Amino acid sequence: MKQPIVIFSMIEWYSSLLHRNHMLAKYFARKGHPVHFIEKKQLKSIKDVSSNFLLEVISVDDHITVYQIPRIPYLKGHFPPSYFLNDYFLIPYINKIAKGLKNSIVIVEFPMWINLIRNSNFKECTLCYDMSDDYELFETNPSLKQKIRSYEQNAIKEADYTFVTSKNLIQKTKPITAKTDRKSVFIIENGVDLELFKDAQLRDERVYRTFKRPIIGFIGGIFSWVNLDLIKEAAVHYKDYSFVLIGPTDQEGKIELLQQLPNVYYLGAKTKDEIAHYFKALDVGLVPYVSEAKYSRLKTVNSNKIFQYMFYGYPVVSTYYSQTESFSDMAYISHDNDAFIQNIEKAILENDREKKQKRQEFALNHSWEKVVDDMIEIIG
């Protein structure tokens, strides 16, 4: 039997969002590793504690087991004892899971797990900290932001290997690795789920039968980092193009106004199983982010959608952010609004078989299977 993989996740297994955590679990399992996926289930009341006190174990398939353990809410950092409770109250749950898994590879996907792990029976395992985002930038409460930073520094210090998804995240590791013997930091980017996307390609479903082509699309979370004003500007300029937005959002009011344009369509969020069909249906993929100055987290973003767009070979038009430097020869990178709008037409007019093939090769070289292979080779 291959070495067990234990993933301490930042997101639930059955979340509607498809995250790096899920993909690592899926493809480690495809490689024959037993995967143990540990997630926290937030307790919202004392009554909730009494009804959800037991460890819940869910068998996903022969290779993946999901464990749900209770979590005391952090209340955005306004209840400091919650850190101590989560670090020590959950140790018996973790030790119960650890039985028979002492020779595991432990992958930590969120830094708030680290104190719990190092005080549990997993502390002797090979420990990997997988940093896929600048987590402290999600928080506005200074106390919680500082606490996340502290946990993250501990995670980097304790890890045998640290994986980061972008070169800018390496900068966060340097002050810690410079003081320790553990200097094994590697860039492991995100990828595309070839299994899911090839299946969509074979089905060749026409999900946009009623939309006028070309179809210019954005698929992903439509939150504060997406420049909806820029999409509106592009849609007004190209009245004969269909602009399609897909994904969860907290910008309902802005999207409602945007949909007043006759060529803009918001299709809402789609399930993980059907999303590939929507990716396949586009003619141009958009990445209309705001500037890094406005949303600093973009400096460390490694977007899955780039690889997902390119899997089908169609052109990508993006605003500039740090990740775009790695594929600037295969996409239309725009440093201002005028360039973004002009690049949409250029992308359509200049598209040819050679460019399509180059983009597809790029995506195939960034598959989740390759991500897992790279991790296995590094860990040894």
Helix (H, G, I), strand (E, B) or coil at 332: strand
The beta-strand segments (E) located in the chain are 5-8, 35-42, 56-59, 64-71, 105-108, 126-131, 161-164, 185-187, 215-219, 242-246, 264-266, 284-287, 316-319, 332-334
Q: Are residues 247 and 218 in the same domain?
A: yes
Whole-angstrom distance, CA of residue 28 vs CA of residue 91: 25
Tell me what pLDDT residue 60 has: 85
Q: Are residues 139 and 207 in the same domain?
A: no
Whole-angstrom distance, CA of residue 101 vs CA of residue 35: 11
Q: Are residues 269 and 322 in the same domain?
A: yes
Q: Are residues 139 and 211 in the same domain?
A: no
Tell me what pLDDT residue 61 has: 86
CATH number of the domain bearing residue 94: 3.40.50.2000
pTM: 0.89
Q: Are residues 259 and 178 in the same domain?
A: no
Whether 370 is in a domain gets the answer: no
Whether 56 is in a domain gets the answer: yes
Q: Which amino acid is at 101?
A: L
List per-block mean pLDDT (blocks of 10 residues) for the chain, which spans 380 residues: 93 84 96 95 57 74 91 73 84 92 94 93 94 86 87 92 92 72 81 90 63 94 95 98 95 95 94 88 96 91 93 97 92 97 97 94 95 94
Q: What is the number of domains present in the chain?
A: 2
Q: Are residues 181 and 249 in the same domain?
A: no
Whole-angstrom distance, CA of residue 285 vs CA of residue 296: 23
Q: Which amino acid is at 282?
A: L
Tell me what pLDDT residue 50 has: 47
Q: What are 367's strand-pairing partners?
A: 192
At 55, list the tokens: 């460890």
Q: Which domain holds residue 111?
A: 5-188
Q: Are residues 10 and 101 in the same domain?
A: yes
